Amino acid sequence: MKITALEIEHYEVETTAFGWRDGLIGRPGGKGRETLLRVKTDEGIDGLVWVSHPAITEELVRRCFAPMFTGADPLMREKLWYEVWERDRLEEFPMYALGFVDVALWDIAAKAAGLPAYKLLGGHKARAKAYASTVTVPTLDDYLRLADRCLARGYQAIKLHVWGRLRDDVLLVRKLRRHVGPDVELMLDGSAGYNLEESVRLGRAMEEEGYLWLEEPMREFNLLAYESLCRTLDIAVLAAECTDGCHFNAGEWLLRGACDRLRTSWFYKGGLTGALKTAHLAESFQVQADVHGCGLGSLHLICALPNSLYYESLVPEECVADATAAGRVLPDADGWVYAPDTPGIGWEPDPARRIG
């Protein structure tokens, strides 16, 4: 089998507007477009992956990836992954671009094998526990109403994306626990909005309220600050989401005790190949590798890993762009999401949404 072409396609979508913490930009919602990379082969098996930052991605596909990959054997994933890594030495690819082609190659391999991607990736389970990962909403009452909606939809766990204002965020931590009761699992993502002292104060409040983890409270440049935070707090600190360097960098976080749970993802850790390397490294340290982000790529990755349980579902779900024929991944009445059992990843686009 040989790769014959890399093609970019665009699809129309519509989403609702949402915001993030103070200082970060949300999205305006409304009509937009999603971009798909299609890797074609001489055996008629296409590998698909939805990509971000389309202007940058299209330039990289045209200038770098198409010349690199056309004519290559798509089943030689490790070889091709390291070729991209070598090219990165001078290109300094954006993290989100390092693994696009790799994911499409896994899609090709799974389709060729007649297997769902999670089984080809390793195959550990067929479902994952979904948690509702909130956008940032204007008021405390808005958060409580959103929590009610999530619980009614079947979610058994909720993760807050907060304002980045310590006093207000601590109040929200306490009010939400009182509102949902003791049995709902709660987490919080600080989106790197705090310094070390603030992170400790927030973490202490979360400990008192029985939260499961504190995620990325500080920018992830300083390992010493995260080492200090992990030594100080009892609550698990989940980190290394946005660090460059895939498993090479993750090894430093684990060795130095700078996190209690480690983030992995296909779009920030060099595709599914890099995500697996990162997760297996975490497993050797007896650490959970929590997968960042929603969608079928993330779900297949979770279901392939023994040290990953939770599926992140952004809520309201209508904030997430989706141009697939199958639609968004949603939990059942008990809060579980299930990987599709059809060959590949399952990212088949809706042809009615095709632009051009």
E-only strand ranges, 316-353? 336-338
The DSSP bridge pattern shows strands 213-215 and 236-239 to be: parallel
The helix (H) or strand (E) run that includes residue 243 is none
Residues of the chain with pLDDT below 70 are none
Task: Write the single-letter amino acid at 257.
Answer: G
Write the CB contacts of 293 (distance below 8 Å, at least 6 apart in sequence): 265, 267, 312
Rounded to 5°, the CA angle 289-21-49 comes to 50
pLDDT tens for each residue of 130-146: 999 999 999 999 999 99
φ, ψ for residue 142, nearest 5 deg: -60, -40
Q: How far apart are CA 328 and CA 16, in angstroms?
A: 14
pLDDT tens for each residue of 211-248: 999 999 999 999 999 999 999 999 999 999 999 999 99
Phi-psi region of 118 (alpha: psi -120 to 50; beta: other; left: phi over 0): alpha
* Beta strands across the sheet bearing 3-15: 47-51, 30-41, 3-15, 354-355
Which residues, listed in sequence order, are joined to residue 38 by a DSSP beta bridge?
7, 48
CB of 199 closer than 8 Å to CB of 169 = no
CB of 346 closer than 8 Å to CB of 296 = yes
pLDDT at 356: 80
Q: How far apart are CA 167 and CA 170, in angstroms?
A: 5
Q: Identify the CA nearest to 147 among candidates 97, 184, 93, 196.
A: 184
Q: How far apart are CA 3 and CA 61, in angstroms?
A: 14
